[in-house]
Structure 1
Amino acid sequence: MANKWGIPQEVEKYVLKRDLFCVYCGVDFSINHESRKTKPSWEHIVNDIRISNIDNIALCCTSCNASKGAKLLDDWLDGKYCKSKGITKNTIAQVVKNALNNPPRLNNN
């Protein structure tokens, strides 16, 4: 069984427990934010909807998700949005660092 984004239920449960903060900018999802930009959204770290395992699915804020869009992770991290928010390869969550060092692939499912 998968959610409406095709993410398997066991992956969804795992990620909801793991990602309590945006994996990119670190916004705290436990705080009730006024802006919908800081609400959690599902993210494919590597932009391939077919890779729906715990190494590629994460929670990030809507603002980071909208900024990243279909960009490659390396390109996005080097871009204006990340520079303005202080997001670097050193500040991102471990799951994203892992994806940079060893990108999730379709055969890892």
Structure 2
Amino acid sequence: MANQWGIPEDVEKFVLIRDKTCVYCGVDFSITHVSRKTKPSWEHIINDIHLSSVDNIALCCTSCNASKGAKKLQEWLKSNYCLSKNINENTVAEVVQNVIRKSISKT
């Protein structure tokens, strides 16, 4: 059974175990956060609701999720938000790096 976002239960469980920090900026989800901006939120790395596998579903902080919005990953990584937070292809989590590698190999 999927949750309210349509993420399959097995994927949700896997991601909750895997992603203990934001897959983009690395903020730690295990500590208590005063700001809503640093709390975890569900993320489609590639903005396609039909791609709900462990390779595309991740946890990121609300701030990164709001900044990325519907932007393509490669486009967002060049944004002022990412530049100001030193978020790039080399600093993101492995699950995101894998998506980047796959997209590069398709071109």
TM-score band, normalised by the shorter chain? over 0.9
Q: Secondary structure at the match of 2:89?
A: coil
Distance 2:100 2:88 in 1: 12
Unaligned segments of structure 1, at least 5 residues: 104-109
Distance 1:63 1:19 in 2: 16
Give the C-alpha shift of residue 40 in structure 1. 0.1
Distance 2:72 2:94 in 1: 18
Structure 1-normalised TM-score? 0.93
State the match for 2:74 in structure 1.
74
Provide the identity percentage.
69
Runs of 4+ in structure 1 deviating by more than 2 angstroms, as ranges, are none
Unaligned segments of structure 2, at least 5 residues: none
State the match for 1:51 in structure 2.
51
State the match for 1:42 in structure 2.
42
- Matched residue count: 103
State the match for 2:18 in structure 1.
18
State the match for 2:84 in structure 1.
84
State the match for 1:100 in structure 2.
100
Distance 1:78 1:70 in 2: 14
Q: C-alpha root-mean-square deviation of aligned residues, in Å?
A: 0.5
State the match for 1:106 in structure 2.
none
Give the C-alpha shift of residue 102 in structure 1. 1.1
Paired residue type of 1:51: L
Distance 2:79 2:89 in 1: 12
Answering whether residue 38 of structure 2 is matched by residue 31 of structure 1, we say no
State the match for 2:62 in structure 1.
62
Give the C-alpha shift of residue 42 in structure 1. 0.2
